[in-house]
Amino acid sequence: MSRFAAPIAEQIWDMKYRLKTAEGAPDDKTVEDTWRRVARALSEAEPAQEDAFYGALEDFKFLPAGRITAGAGTGRSVTLFNCFVMGTIPDSMGGIFDMLKEAALTMQQGGGIGYDFSTIRPRGADVKGVAADASGPLSFMDVWDAMCRTIMSAGSRRGAMMATMRCDHPDIEDFITAKSDAARLRMFNMSVLVTDDFMQAVKDDASWDLKFEGTIYHTVEARDLWNKIMKATYEYAEPGVIFIDRINQMNNLAYCETIAATNPCGEQPLPPYGACLLGSINLARLVADPFEDTARLDGDALTELVATAVRMMDNVVDASRFPLEAQRQEALAKRRIGLGVTGLADALLMLGLRYGSDEAAAQTEAWMKQIARASYLASVELAKEKGPFPLFDAEKYLASGSLTHMDQDVRDAIREHGIRNALLTSIAPTGTISLYAGNVSSGIEPVFAYAYTRKVLQKDGSRTEEEVVDYAVQMWRDKFGDKELPDYFVNAQTLDPLAHVKMQAAAQKWIDSSISKTINCPEDISFEAFKDVYMEAWDSGCKGCTTYRPNDVTGSVLSVSEDSEKAPEADSGADVVYISEPLDRPQSLEGHTYKVKWPDSEHAIYITVNDLVLNGHRRPFEVFINSKNMEHFAWTVALTRMISAVFRRGGDVSFVVEELKAVFDPRGGAWMNGKYIPSILAAIGGVIERHMVLTGFLEGEGMGLKTDPHAEVINLGNAPRGPACPSCGQYDMRMVEGCMTCASCGHSKCG
């Protein structure tokens, strides 16, 4: 029999984790081959552990993060680490672009990255030696965003980035509102670094200085600034909030590092050049006698599995490649790992506990403590064998961070023998690996939907439908047939937001890094109640807070009614439908021709844009791009045909401009008319934009793409559904663990 609990699990394995030849033929014939490949690769330095590693992977009990499963034992030059925080950005043009290059190299090998942009001087500040004003950190974030669009990371995933900025930076208000424009900074997740002093100022209704390098630029009311942060995330789901002082105070390594940024989903606060690898214990696989009075999680099996997982992950530190030498040195000096969980909500259901209840929170805290104890003791055992991490200092280590409330026997063991890994626990996004494990609930999130229907693209181009059922719900069905689900079965859409916070806080106490979690809020939640969610997260000890409320910018997620076992299904007539049929070409059109001379290019490019007049208004209809440079011939013809085809479809086609303007040439762009243009394609996009402005189609530069291009479809069935997935096109995008994730194919914005 297949090891896969659901068809979607096997499809995810085949698409993302199965080793194949360059021609597409499978090297891993079965999932057992995948487990064996990973186990053998991670036990290369200690072959006697191979069978133990295989046993942990078997039946999806331990789930290494996707990059480990996809990359270990393949011989490919990819990193097995999931996330990086890059070096501190210098406040100089040369230093900034050195950092941009490092970011590109890191994403090229498959790493998501985080940056603190607080170190760049604010917009309007003096730039010494050039008699100019600084453009500010937001302008450089635009450059990073353009670069990220062009870098395909390992496993055919787009790069993911996190941008942070301190709450006292003079440009913080621009940072807060940057993503109100859906066309801007789409490759970034964004979070504000909130300090203890700021939170106290909010509570005291005090004033707050915005400053850079000791100079006060503005003074605002702290509560007004807090309300701006809250209003932005209320309306378009960003920025998130990171309680940065709490993170540094609770860091085991506070004595030798300072943190100012996190990875893209926020569960890994990291120092400059910090890197972390991730893996998850599947709690749903460890419950004995599910749904019975004797139901329990097997504590002995959990402790044994954690110990094996810690050893495996420690070996990854040595087995992985790193995009940059500084990242390798940082990882080896501290040997940070991030062991977390998935299937928590399913495990609670199997024990008859309602997610969000006091009993569920207490059980979650108890499980997290057991995992923390087992992780630290396993790392002590590794230190006995292989030595502690190089920067270990017993007294300083035990006096900082999460060790202050660790059990005394664990502290004594660390003092006597040291510890192999400086930090051990983290709860990361597990959307894709949760599907791979049979659609168990993700991370510590509640069950999103008990069941839903997905459309599967077949090889002949047709689509078939299949039901995807939550792991615990399927187990209930197998055990009790059509018997009604008990009232303790709840889902993400029907939970009170404060119940989400309670569960996050319960888990955080024993997680030494942080937690990736989304607090789902109903669309009709009041602004005051919404703000209470963040204040409760602060008051209850969370290290950060990410919410999702359906909105016009990010769209709405698939909704689930409280009295229905299934999520609503999209109407069969709700496939992609263009707003109009292609427009017919008249005999003659009005147009303009523009000349672009790219620096260092022998020949100019000529761009002709012809317009159609409809109801007295001009709109772009076709484009011709010509050059005498034969090296440009193929791509200019292709671009001509593609853009013209889009224009002839009608509707709001202004997104073409923004897509072109965002293309980044890794060989470097050019300065044109006093403005940096990242590529020839971006220059063409700028010409088309100026034409659209000239003819009145656009109100001004930067006014394109106010909504996602996928909004150009009509939902004929008027059924509630999520935004369209950029990978498979299905309307199953959901905000899970701080990241938009497709339930149909596993595509994730965060990689």
Residue 657 pLDDT class (50, 70, 90 cuts): confident
Specify whether the CB–CB gap between 99 and 89 falls below 8 A: yes
Q: What is the pLDDT of residue 567?
A: 34
Specify whether the CB–CB gap between 664 and 150 falls below 8 A: yes
Spatial separation of the C-alpha atoms in residues 437 and 346, rounded to whole Å: 12
- pTM of the shown model: 0.79
Contacts with 26 (C-beta within 8 Å, 6 or more apart), sequence order: 14, 18, 19, 20
Residue 647 pLDDT class (50, 70, 90 cuts): confident
Q: What is the pLDDT of residues 94-104, one digit of tens each?
A: 999 999 999 98
Q: What is the pLDDT of residues 421-450, one digit of tens each?
A: 999 999 998 988 999 999 999 999 999 889
Q: What is the pLDDT of residue 153?
A: 36
Spatial separation of the C-alpha atoms in residues 129 and 111, rounded to whole Å: 36
Q: What is the pLDDT of residue 391?
A: 98
Q: What is the pLDDT of residue 309?
A: 98
Q: What is the pLDDT of residue 139?
A: 93
720 CB neighbour count, 10 Å cutoff? 18
Contacts with 696 (C-beta within 8 Å, 6 or more apart), sequence order: 617, 618
Closest CA to 497 of 479, 513, 481, 521: 521
638 CB neighbour count, 10 Å cutoff? 11
Residue 719 pLDDT class (50, 70, 90 cuts): very low
Closest CA to 275 of 135, 500, 86: 86
The letter for the amino acid at 697 is F
Q: Does 182 score more than 80 pLDDT?
A: no
Q: What is the pLDDT of residues 672-705, one digit of tens each?
A: 776 778 888 888 998 998 898 888 888 777 665 5
What is the mean predicted confidence (pLDDT) over 537-561?
74
Taking the mean position of all CA atoms in its chain, how far away is CA 436?
A: 18
Q: Does 15 score more than 70 pLDDT?
A: yes
Closest CA to 428 of 344, 346, 490, 496: 344
C-alpha separations of 226 from 176, 178, 179, 531, 551 in Å? 10, 16, 17, 9, 20
Closest CA to 259 of 330, 153, 187: 330
Residue 454 pLDDT class (50, 70, 90 cuts): confident
Of residues 76 and 299, more confidently modeled: 299
Residue 130 pLDDT class (50, 70, 90 cuts): low
Q: Does 230 score more than 70 pLDDT?
A: yes
Q: Which of 82-86, 405-409, 512-516 has the lowest mean pLDDT?
A: 82-86
Spatial separation of the C-alpha atoms in residues 96 and 120, rounded to whole Å: 9
Phi and psi dihedrals of 258, rounded to 5? -125, 135
Collapsing DSSP to helix, strand or coil, 357 comes out as: coil
Q: What is the pLDDT of residue 716?
A: 31
Q: What is the pLDDT of residues 267-286, one digit of tens each?
A: 999 999 999 899 999 999 99
Q: What is the pLDDT of residue 673?
A: 75
Specify whether the CB–CB gap between 450 and 485 falls below 8 A: yes
Spatial separation of the C-alpha atoms in residues 464 and 40, rounded to whole Å: 37
Spatial separation of the C-alpha atoms in residues 202 and 561, rounded to whole Å: 37
Q: How many CA atoms lie within 13 A of 195 on its CB side?
A: 14
Q: What is the pLDDT of residues 361-401, one digit of tens each?
A: 999 999 999 999 999 999 999 999 999 999 999 999 999 88
Domain boundaries along the sequence of the chain: 83-249, 590-710
Q: What are the catalytic residues?
A: 263, 265, 267
Cis amide prior to 47 (ω within 30 degrees):
no
Spatial separation of the C-alpha atoms in residues 682 and 678, rounded to whole Å: 6
373 CB neighbour count, 10 Å cutoff? 17
What is the mean predicted confidence (pLDDT) over 621-649?
84
